Copies of this chain bind each other. A is one copy, B any other.
Amino acid sequence: QSSVTIYGTLDAGVSKKTGTTAAIGKRDNNKLGFKGVEDLGNGLKALFQLEIRYEPDTGTLESGTRPLFQGQSRVGLQGGFGTVRLGRGLTAFQESITAFEPWNGLPSVAGFQTDLQVAGYATAFGSGSDPLGPAGNSGNRMSNALFYNTPVFSGFQLNATLGTKENGGSASAIQGRNPVGTPAQYLVGSDASANPYSLSGTYNNGPFAAMAAYERNAVETKVWSVAASVVPVTGLKLMASYQKQDQEHTKPVNGETKSWVIGANYTTGPGKILAGYGQKTPDGVIKTKEISLGYEYNLSARSYVYIEASNRKQPAAGSTTVDTSVNFYGLGIHHNF
């Protein structure tokens, strides 16, 4: 009955950001997971997966406050009909989009996923996939959800996530559509005003891949994205994505944010070069612009060392019209087990 595979990632490095002390931290999400597949016969399988997330520099759970199985806790069945799972995990939107980001969705400051590629969807208060979850909760997962992936047909796959209206434990009220100062629409412990859901379609055909995705969360913030990538010559992958977020349900003014990210990965021998540029433009606020360059050197199929740098021009604290420039440098080791 030893049906459990243990897996994980331990990534740690040294980094320096303009205006803060040198720090030891992470470039990737750090994981310790337990998973298994049981063959039920007739092409049917039972699946489970539990994934701890943690901070390598302090040993705490991710951000110190996230659920034990922040990564995912899902159980389900797989067969000719596709894969159906219940529990908590990345939404269809979020799990499809990372393949079109030059840092492959890594949460590094040099990466584009969290702040730019999803148009800041996961970071603004009351936003993200799980806005009625507890404080500190990751914004790109749904709890209390049903996850469905179709089989792959000629390179096409459809993915859907449907959440219940259950409040997941939010400890703060969230201002609804009403003007600022009027009563919040989502009191502490409120159920969602609509079932949150997330949809994506992906296409993979040799050197070409593309995606379209849409998500509406429990406080009716909406986000959509289209993205594509191409491999014009062996070792080189070019990619681009465009996103638009609509927060009009919870922001009385300036509820829209647009963003785009372009990038390239170039593999040469044991090395891989990563490069990207992106912009985010929230209504009424000046653009955030980021440019990043990184290099990974493989020590084995499971381990690599990396170095990276980025510059971000973003609105200065408290300002919508003046920007500030932040440089970031990182160096570290990434190990999968």
Contacts and interface: CB of A to CB of B under 8 A. Distances in A.
Interface of A: 1-8, 10-14, 21-25, 30, 32, 34, 36, 38, 40-41, 44, 46, 48, 50, 52, 54-61, 64, 67-77, 86-88, 133-134, 143-146, 164-166, 168-169, 191, 299-300, 302-303, 332-333, 335, 337
A50 B40 contact: no
A4 B1 contact: no
Given A165-B22, A166-B21, A166-B24, A10 B57 contact: no
Contact of A34 (B32, B41, B71): B32
Contact of A57 (B36, B46, B61, B144): B144
Contacts of A133: 58
Contacts of A61: 67-68
Interface residues of A, dominant DSSP: strand
A323 to B, nearest CB: 26
Given A24-B164, A58-B67, A46 B86 contact: no
Contacts of A11: 75
18 contacts: A1-B337, A2-B6, A4-B8, A6-B34, A10-B73, A12-B74, A13-B86, A14-B164, A23-B144, A24-B87, A38-B300, A40-B299, A40-B300, A40-B303, A46-B335, A56-B74, A56-B86, A64-B169
Given A2-B5, A2-B6, A22-B165, 16 more contacts: A4-B337, A10-B74, A12-B75, A12-B86, A21-B164, A32-B34, A38-B302, A38-B303, A41-B300, A46-B300, A56-B87, A58-B73, A59-B69, A59-B72, A60-B67, A60-B68
B87 A57 contact: yes
Number of copies: 3
A30 B23 CA distance: 30
A210 to B, nearest CB: 31
A143 B58 contact: yes
Contacts of A332: 86
B58 A50 contact: no
B7 A1 contact: yes
B34 A59 contact: no
Contacts of A55: 73
Nearest to A25: B144
A69 B303 CA distance: 22
Contacts of A303: 38, 40, 46
A302 B45 CA distance: 12
A118 to B, nearest CB: 21
A145 B24 contact: yes
A2 B7 CA distance: 8
A46 B46 CA distance: 34
A48 B38 CA distance: 27
A34 B166 CA distance: 32
Given A5-B2, A38-B335, A144-B58, A302 B21 contact: no
